[in-house]
Amino acid sequence: ETDFVSRFGGEEFTMLLPNTDKSMAIRLANQLRHIIEQTGFNFDGKQPTPITISCGVTEFINDDTPEAAFERADGALYKAKQQGRNQCCDD
């Protein structure tokens, strides 16, 4: 009831999981990553095109600001992309 998913920019999405700690959020992100990786995608009736996601995960800490949390998550996402994509990293 409290989770929220939204598009943020062209290819990026955010997930707010207020009742989920970071370890559970990483587990959830990896489950979604695996489901997406296993999902077939056919573009224009042609051969299947593999699709993957990379995820950056953080959690709010005491005296945090939304901007600071977003920067940490974005840094973790950048790390996942640098390490080869199709993975989830936390800060």
Residues with catalytic roles: 11
- Residue with structure tokens 């996601």? 53
How far is the C-alpha of 61 from the C-alpha of 50, rounded, in Å?
A: 36
How far is the C-alpha of 16 from the C-alpha of 39, rounded, in Å?
A: 24
What pairing do the DSSP bridges indicate for beta strands 4-7 and 13-16?
A: antiparallel
